[in-house]
Chain A
């Protein structure tokens, strides 16, 4: 008992180390070769790698693209999700939005991007639906709607994918802000919905969702798979170019990749700093507005419809895009500008079946292993917290978010080089370990709140009835936690399935999952095969969430008192 208690007590710290060490070591592993220190780059210590980077003509454009798409999509996603919450709190549509969130969230970034690409491309569904009667096009027009140099398509994709995530985080934080009563007070004083929300709820709410917002900002600035599919190619965004260099077989390429990754890291750090400063400015403005006593009731008439429309358009586009993937995967002949294919055929699926099955097997294996390890660690962490009292919670939260805020391109190339130089076999196991770094924070975030909210009297009662802590955990707490545990598993599986860069870099391009295959195919333009792969990529997490919903209902069908879902 003492021995296990001793080990259990150490789990939170061990787990935090498990998250922090790869991120920090990977960043260092990126830093050193950038300056030619690690001996991997010819020419010894110096700035050779940076010279190579400066000599790349696309650098300024790539940096600008990263900056604009990242910041614009984060501001938009945050504004839309706050506007939606403010408009819908306490109204009937709210529950509907909440139910829509999980399925939207479970769609991997790559599948979402591919679906949107099929929708908005010059030969995509929208153009087909409008042609030739409205546009006069009988051929796909030569327009850069997709992969546009300004990154508009990429920004739209990021907004569509990040808004559900921010909404979920906001909804999770909302109960702690006493929002309903504050809004009632504000309304009784004559404030409009949006103004009342911004002045009375937002300050407390934002403090709770700050870290998720930073994670979204960092992701949006550095996403590789979405930028590959939706972003421009000449020049591509910085993270895409860094990935290209990192995948080059030559050591020079790796040095340039390291230097580029460092610039990307500095860029994200700089933007986060500016964002933090902007928060202070906004808070001051809100305080002034509150003191001014202006009720802002007129805002609602324009603000609420705009928020609803801006929330609806990306969600609908995402759904239409995903439907497009499905239609393409079974499409027979489908010439432009027909809105629907001339016939349905399973030929694509039968032909792709062997490759699909193999990639799906690898994907599922990685997801199961990384999620199982993450779940065991998170449960042990939370149980240790319950038994021995929590360590510093804010510190732990920052560590949890570390792998989500430090850009993947900044530490994965370093980690890849460390793995290579240590002679460790870069393969399936290393990729699963890399997935764990990203799966674990999400499993923790999903499980922590319900685990902590569990009625502690049940543990006391179990103990008063003579049960030890082990028995209380296995026979009372875990069964009662079945629904949230399965949801956390589904989240973990979805995160692992969606991983592109860790799979590509740590696997050295040799571990092929549905995600890496779908992204690799995306440049080829065979829409039928892309549709099949993207659909499979989407189906795995969807099945996970479906099971997480269905199993507790089946197992506890006869137990109304167990909250299902």
Chain B
């Protein structure tokens, strides 16, 4: 069974009514968009998928990735790649250091791999650069590379384009979705922006599982 399955995934804060209630299967290379205003269960859903729910919240149901139940696994073992709305590059590491952090330790020829990835992304020779000297678009691409080099089995996008200006946003969104499709990754995109949802081109649900028409 390949792809990402959410089986009756629900999140509650104490005894309050659930903020999230979802059943969905996301096939490889498919994008599921979860849309809602801020304060709907979006951030809670993200936390449940990454395994970082704050104390007091608890998740029910199961998250199954390529046949493996990851619901109880720690974040590091889930193999779900993550892109935030900011790039969150590690400021104390060079661009190459950031990518090296993502690349699994067992991979040989690390410097060559990193250089190749940078070249392929249109950032040749950037390995020694300070992330703070990069443009917004360059930073977004480095963040994407870092996530992909960790060899994730699924991708989770937390409004990953919302801090970019309009032109750049279209460009980076296309890049991320193309790369995810090319690798056959199931993608969950969490956003409040119908434009993102339309561009993703898949089903659109609310955190409570209702279909939304964009």
Within 8 A of B (CB), among A224-271: none
Would you list which residues of chain A between 460 and 475 have a CB under 8 Å from chain B?
A: 460-468, 475
Residues of B near A461 (CB, < 8 A) are: 82, 84, 88
When each residue 442-479 of chain A gets 1 if its CB lies under 8 Å from chain B and 0 otherwise, what string results?
00000000000001011011111111100000011001
Contact with A along B77-111 (1 / 0, CB 8 A): 11111101010111111100000011010000000
A positions within 8 Å CB-CB of B: 389, 455, 457-458, 460-468, 475-476, 479-480, 482, 556, 558-562
B132 interfacial by beta-carbon distance below 8 Å: yes
- 24 A-B contacts, Cβ less than 8 Å apart? A389-B55, A460-B52, A460-B82, A461-B82, A461-B84, A461-B88, A463-B51, A463-B52, A463-B74, A464-B50, A464-B75, A464-B80, A464-B147, A464-B150, A466-B76, A466-B102, A467-B101, A556-B92, A559-B92, A559-B94, A560-B130, A560-B132, A561-B132, A562-B92
Checking A462, A482, A559 against B101 with a beta-carbon cut-off of 8 angstroms, the contacting residue is A462
Would you list which residues of chain B between 118 and 169 have a CB under 8 Å from chain A?
130-133, 146-147, 150, 152, 156
Residue in A464, A480, A556, A561 whose CB lies within 8 Å of B81: A464
Residue numbers in A under 8 Å from B77 (CB-CB): 466
**Besides the contacts A466-B104, A467-B101, what 16 more A-B pairs have beta carbons closer than 8 Å?**
A458-B90, A460-B52, A460-B75, A463-B52, A463-B76, A464-B76, A464-B152, A465-B81, A465-B146, A466-B79, A476-B90, A556-B92, A558-B94, A561-B91, A561-B130, A561-B131
The residue in chain A whose Cβ has the minimal distance to the Cβ of B139 is: A561
| A residues near B132, Cβ cutoff 8 Å | 559-561
In the bound complex, do residue B76 and residue A458 qualify as a contact, i.e. CB atoms below 8 Å apart? no
Q: Chain A nearest CB: distance from B159 CB in Å?
A: 13
For A458, give the chain B residue with the smallest CB separation.
Answer: B88
Nearest CB of chain A from residue B12's CB, rounded to whole Å: 18
Residue of A nearest to B56 (CB): A389
Residues of B within 8 A of A465 (CB): 76, 81, 101-102, 146-147, 150
CB distance from A27 to the nearest CB of B (A): 36
**Chain A residues within 8 Å of B75, by CB:** 460, 463-464
A560 to B89, CA, bound (A): 12
**CA–CA, A326 and B50, complex, Å:** 60
* Least CB distance, A468 to chain B, in whole angstroms: 6
Chain A's nearest CB lies how many Å from the CB of B212?
A: 26
Q: Is the CB of A466 within 8 A of B150?
A: yes
B93 to chain A, nearest CB (A): 8
Query: How many angstroms from the CA of A460 to the CA of B104 in the assembled complex?
Result: 17
Cβ–Cβ < 8 Å partners of A482 in chain B: 92
In whole angstroms, how far apart are the Cα atoms of A558 and B77 in the complex?
33
- Chain A residues near B133 (CB-CB < 8 A): 560
The CA of A479 and the CA of B156, in the complex, are separated in Å by: 27
Ordered nearest first, which 6 A-B pairs have the shortest CB separation? A561-B91, A560-B132, A463-B75, A561-B132, A464-B82, A463-B76
Residues of B within 8 A of A467 (CB): 76, 101
Contact of A455 among B88, B104, B152, B156 (CB under 8 A): B88
Closest to A456 in B: B52
Q: How far is the CB of B187 from chain A (nearest CB, A)?
A: 14
Q: Is A559 a contact partner of B130 (Cβ separation < 8 A)?
A: yes
Q: Would you call B101 and A457 a contact (CB within 8 A)?
A: no
- State the CA gap A238–B81 with chains docked (Å): 65
Most B CB contacts (10 A, CB to CB) among A463, A464, A475, A558 go to A464
Contact between B91 and A562, CB atoms less than 8 A apart: yes
Residues from chain A with a CB closer than 8 A to the CB of B146 are 465
Instruction: List, in ascending order, chain A residues with CB within 8 A of B91's CB.
Output: 480, 559-562
Quick one: closest A residue to B143, CB to CB? A461
Residues of A within 8 A of B130 (CB): 558-561
Contacts of A462 in B (CB 8 A): 101
Closest to B146 in A: A465
CB-CB < 8 A to B131: which residues of A?
559, 561
- Chain B residue nearest to A388 in the complex (CB): B55
Inter-chain CA distance A243–B50, complex, in Å, is 59
Q: Are B84 and A457 in touch, CB under 8 angstroms?
A: yes
Contact present for B90 and A480 (CB under 8 Å):
yes
| Docked pose: A457 CA to B46 CA in angstroms | 12
Contacts of B55 in A (CB 8 A): 389
The answer, among A457, A479, A558, A559, for a CB contact under 8 Å with B88, is A457
Asked if residues A468 and B76 are in contact (CB atoms below 8 Å), the reply is yes
Q: How far is the CA of A328 from the CA of B197 in the complex (A)?
A: 75
**Which residues in A have their C-beta under 8 angstroms from that of B90?**
458, 476, 480
In the assembled complex, the Cα of A476 lies from the Cα of B90 at a distance in Å of: 7
Docked Cα-Cα span, A467 to B102, in Å, equals 8
For the complex, what is the distance from the CA of A389 to the CA of B57, rounded to whole Å?
13
Residue of B nearest to A464 (CB): B82
A401 to B132, CA, bound (A): 39
Q: For residue B79, which residues in chain A have a CB less than 8 angstroms away from its CB?
A: 466
Bound: A461/B81 CA distance, A = 8
B44-58 interface bits toward A, Cβ cutoff 8 Å, 1 = contact, 0 = none: 000000111001000
A378 to B71, CA, bound (A): 33
Cβ–Cβ < 8 Å partners of A463 in chain B? 50-52, 74-76
Task: Give chain A nearest CB distance to B138 CB in angstroms.
Answer: 13
C-alpha spacing A460/B48, complex, angstroms: 12
Q: Chain A residues with Cβ under 8 A from B84's Cβ?
A: 457, 461
**B52: shortest Cβ distance to chain A, in Å?**
5
**Chain A residue, CB-CB nearest to B86:** A457
Q: How far is the CA of A53 from the CA of B170 in the complex (A)?
A: 83
Closest to B134 in A: A561
Chain A residues closer than 8 Å to B86, beta-carbon distance:
457
- The CA-CA distance from A458 to B104 in the complex, in Å, is 17
Q: How far is the CB of A460 from chain B (nearest CB, A)?
A: 5
